[in-house]
Chain A
Amino acid sequence: MDYSIALQLFFSGLNLGSIYTALGLGFFVVYSVTRVLNLAQGEFVMLGGMLVVTFYTKGIPLVPSILLAVVITSLAGAGIYRFIIFPARKFPGMTKVFLTLGCAFIIQGIALHFWGWEFRSLAAFFDTPSIQICGATIFGQTPWVIGATLIMVAGLFVFFGHTIQGKALRACANEPLGARTVGISIERMALFSFALAAGIGAVVGALITPLTMTSYSMGLPLTAKGLLAAFVGGITRVEGVILGGLVYGMIESITAGLIPWGNHNVIALAILVGGLLIRRRGILLTAGKG
């Protein structure tokens, strides 16, 4: 294979991998605190993308648009926890999953009401031009995607590993009774995790809108892909999510480059699902039984 094609595939894989990692992070944040699979995560991504497009086209500069979208989506996430998941906190895990599915329906409906059926798109952030490196073309948005994902990953890494607040969050899922005994409010932590996950989702939405168009119905497919990436790596640890996302991105990019048949999505998904079925606790063997 040509060197430049390999480089091209590598960058495209890195780009996709960053997106899947960032998608998976939202599931990780909620799951590692509350042990809930949040099926509305993809809808947060969609909501974030839509809001950024709306603010940006209204003339608000890009950075404030993104910040506004993140704040609004975080509030939506917190609201969903407070009014829908919190009353069901004693229910079995499956009920909570179905509740988040209900939330996904509601968010989709609201998005359809305000933004209609049309697809929305944005130019690359700050109109960054495409870059040429050794014959490989990198779309202007790619550095932003990779950079933002790196920042989020680093932030979560430090937060969950090295701050009291982050350790308190993890304690909620690992040992709820113990956490309560030492004075951690599990409900407050769960609320925070939903808001954080929604905020991460909104950032992802802003990042991917210039790459793929955003429409009201794109949430559930994104949920499926992000969840798969998170499970493949190991949903209970940041490293697992990064690994899963990167593996997924690379496989999708390589299959897209090598298979002339064109439908690389099928092969990539099949490899991932197959891999997950064989190595059921994720690459890092960290996923629990639950």
Chain B
Amino acid sequence: MSFSVQDIIERTRKISPVDARYLAVGIFTILIMIIPLGAGAFPNTVMIEIGFYSIVTMGLIMFMGFAGQISLGHAALFGCGAYISGILTTQHYLSPWLALFLAACFTGGIAAAVGRVMFRMHGLILAGITLALNLLFFYLVSGLSDLTGGAIGMTNIPPLSLGQYTSQNILFNYYLLWVIAILLLIFSLNLADSRFGRALRSINTYDGGSEEAAQVLGINIMKYKVWVFILSAVYASIAGSLYAHYTRIIEPNTFMIQFSALVVLMAIIGGRSSPWGAFLGAGLIVSIRQLLREFAPMLIVGPTGSYELIAYGIIMVVVLLFLPQGLFPIIKKAILKRRPGFS
């Protein structure tokens, strides 16, 4: 019995797609779990940042990649989670865990209400509406100063705690965040391969689906669009709550359109057809940003941050022009040749 890479790949080919899915998740989980053992505090904070972005991007991928809808307002959903968590814990003294749960429910409810009217419209007009809604959210939290602290934001949000550990502890927060991220990943992967996921793909006009054909087959497209929007919102809200309890300070500027655009960028680069793309995209972009922050000031003079933006733009354009499906399909193909049905 040999354990060469080739051999493992051979075995992977023989197992069923469902097993392969869990095998991949298992390998990924082990990788994530052993990273902190070998690294200092700095890469852990970077990995935590990647985790936040990954969860939001995963939600966006379900909305954008599975269902083919456009959203440029996910920062508002992320902010919704963060602010509701913050308000419930600092002003009503609820447990952070309960606040996280209630925030997710509430954000999902908002998404249901907004989605119900928003999805009467098709295609690109959604881009305009979600952009406007994001701006609306920004003005709302900046304006309601009694509730949200206005432009200054909220401070002293209590951390999540489990026994003696709190999420101020970087390592505890790392594991907490990534366990949640992996659970959500498993949910997304299974969702993609369910009746619900296939229905979403059938209405995905961006990747060759057709709303009319889906309707003819008896798919209630409104129902599916609203539900995927709710799920997407719940993902963003969970990430937002975790973010609020981790940094313990939130301010409106974080939840501006810039964040939404960044999440869209991650979904596109990673590959919008699979939840794995979220981790790939978030990991790549955050790493690039970190590298540029470290090394760019040595090479070129100018305000930091400008190279990041230029790099994001160039990466986005290059990926869209030459790899419209993002990076994940290529990696998948490289790992598993001639094996369809593995998502």
Residues of A within 8 A of B (CB): 37, 39, 84, 87-88, 91-95, 97-99, 101-110, 112-113, 116-117, 217, 220-221, 223-225, 227-228, 230-231, 261-263, 265-266, 269-270, 272-273, 276-278, 280, 287, 289-290
Q: How far is the CB of A166 from chain B (nearest CB, A)?
A: 23
B313 near A106 with CB under 8 A, answer: yes
Within B63-94, the residues touching A (CB, 8 Å) are 68, 70, 72
Q: Name the B residues within 8 Å of A109 (CB-CB).
A: 305-313
Q: Name the A residues within 8 Å of B303 (CB-CB).
A: 112-113, 116-117
In the assembled complex, the Cα of A276 lies from the Cα of B264 at a distance in Å of 24
Q: How far is the CB of B112 from chain A (nearest CB, A)?
A: 14
Which of the residues A93, A98, A225, A277 comes within 8 Å of B123, measured between beta carbons? A93
Q: Name the A residues within 8 Å of B136 (CB-CB).
A: 266, 269-270, 273
B39 at the interface (CB under 8 A from A): no
B143 near A265 with CB under 8 A, answer: yes
B249 at the interface (CB under 8 A from A): no
Q: Name the B residues within 8 Å of A261 (CB-CB).
A: 143
In the assembled complex, the Cα of A101 lies from the Cα of B72 at a distance in Å of 10
Task: Give the B interface residue count (CB, 8 A).
Answer: 51
B128 near A95 with CB under 8 A, answer: no
Which of the residues B124, B312, B317, B321 comes within 8 Å of A97, measured between beta carbons? B124
B124 near A110 with CB under 8 A, answer: no
Q: Could you list 19 further interchain pairs (A-B, Cβ under 8 angstroms) beyond the known A101-B264, A108-B309, A113-B310?
A: A39-B127, A91-B324, A94-B123, A98-B268, A99-B320, A102-B315, A103-B313, A104-B261, A105-B309, A106-B314, A109-B306, A221-B256, A223-B131, A228-B131, A263-B139, A272-B132, A273-B132, A277-B129, A290-B123
B147 at the interface (CB under 8 A from A): no
In the assembled complex, the Cα of A93 lies from the Cα of B312 at a distance in Å of 21
Q: How far is the CB of A186 from chain B (nearest CB, A)?
A: 19
Give me the 4 closest cross-chain CB pairs, A-B, nearest first: A263-B143, A109-B309, A106-B313, A105-B313
B206 at the interface (CB under 8 A from A): yes
B23 at the interface (CB under 8 A from A): no
Q: Name the A residues within 8 Å of B129 (CB-CB).
A: 228, 231, 273, 276-277
Can you list 17 A-B contacts with CB-CB less than 8 angstroms, sorted by A residue number? A91-B320, A91-B324, A92-B206, A97-B127, A99-B317, A101-B72, A106-B313, A109-B311, A110-B306, A112-B303, A224-B257, A228-B132, A265-B143, A266-B143, A277-B118, A277-B129, A280-B121
B128 near A231 with CB under 8 A, answer: yes
In the assembled complex, the Cα of A206 lies from the Cα of B8 at a distance in Å of 63
A112 near B309 with CB under 8 A, answer: yes
Residues of B within 8 A of A (CB): 68, 70, 72, 117-118, 120-125, 127-129, 131-136, 139-140, 142-144, 206, 256-258, 261, 264-265, 268, 302-303, 305-317, 320-321, 324
Q: Name the A residues within 8 Å of B72 (CB-CB).
A: 39, 101
In the assembled complex, the Cα of A129 lies from the Cα of B69 at a distance in Å of 49
In the assembled complex, the Cα of A110 lies from the Cα of B143 at a distance in Å of 31
Instruction: From known contacts A98-B264, A273-B129, A276-B129, infer whether A262 and B143 are also in contact, taking CB-CB under 8 Å.
Output: yes
Closest to B260 in A: A220
Closest to A36 in B: B124
Q: Name the A residues within 8 Å of B306 (CB-CB).
A: 109-110, 112-113
B139 near A265 with CB under 8 A, answer: yes
Q: How far is the CB of A108 from chain B (nearest CB, A)?
A: 5
In the assembled complex, the Cα of A37 lies from the Cα of B135 at a distance in Å of 18
In the assembled complex, the Cα of A87 lies from the Cα of B131 at a distance in Å of 26
A93 near B131 with CB under 8 A, answer: no
A105 near B131 with CB under 8 A, answer: no
A37 near B128 with CB under 8 A, answer: yes
Instruction: From known contacts A87-B321, A93-B123, A220-B261, infer whether A102 and B316 are also in contact, taking CB-CB under 8 Å.
Output: yes
Which of the residues B122, B135, B310 comes within 8 Å of A269, measured between beta carbons? B135
Q: Name the B residues within 8 Å of A87 (CB-CB).
A: 321
B70 near A113 with CB under 8 A, answer: no
Q: Name the B residues within 8 Å of A101 (CB-CB).
A: 72, 261, 264-265, 316
Q: How far is the CB of A107 from chain B (nearest CB, A)?
A: 8
Q: Name the A residues within 8 Å of B144 (CB-CB).
A: 263
In the assembled complex, the Cα of A155 lies from the Cα of B317 at a distance in Å of 33
A227 near B132 with CB under 8 A, answer: yes
Q: Name the B residues within 8 Å of A228 (CB-CB).
A: 128-129, 131-132
Q: Name the A residues within 8 Å of B128 (CB-CB).
A: 37, 224, 227-228, 230-231
Q: Name the B residues within 8 Å of A99 (CB-CB).
A: 316-317, 320-321
In the assembled complex, the Cα of A290 lies from the Cα of B127 at a distance in Å of 12
Q: How far is the CB of B39 from chain A (nearest CB, A)?
A: 30
In the assembled complex, the Cα of A116 lies from the Cα of B134 at a distance in Å of 25
B257 near A220 with CB under 8 A, answer: yes
In the assembled complex, the Cα of A217 lies from the Cα of B305 at a distance in Å of 12
Which of the residues B120, B127, B143 comes within 8 Å of A37, measured between beta carbons? B127
Q: Which of A224, A230, A265, A280 has the most CB of B within 10 A?
A: A224
A94 near B139 with CB under 8 A, answer: no
Q: Name the A residues within 8 Å of B265 (CB-CB).
A: 101-102, 105
Closest to B125 in A: A231
Q: Name the A residues within 8 Å of B68 (CB-CB).
A: 94
In the assembled complex, the Cα of A223 lies from the Cα of B131 at a distance in Å of 8
B139 near A102 with CB under 8 A, answer: no
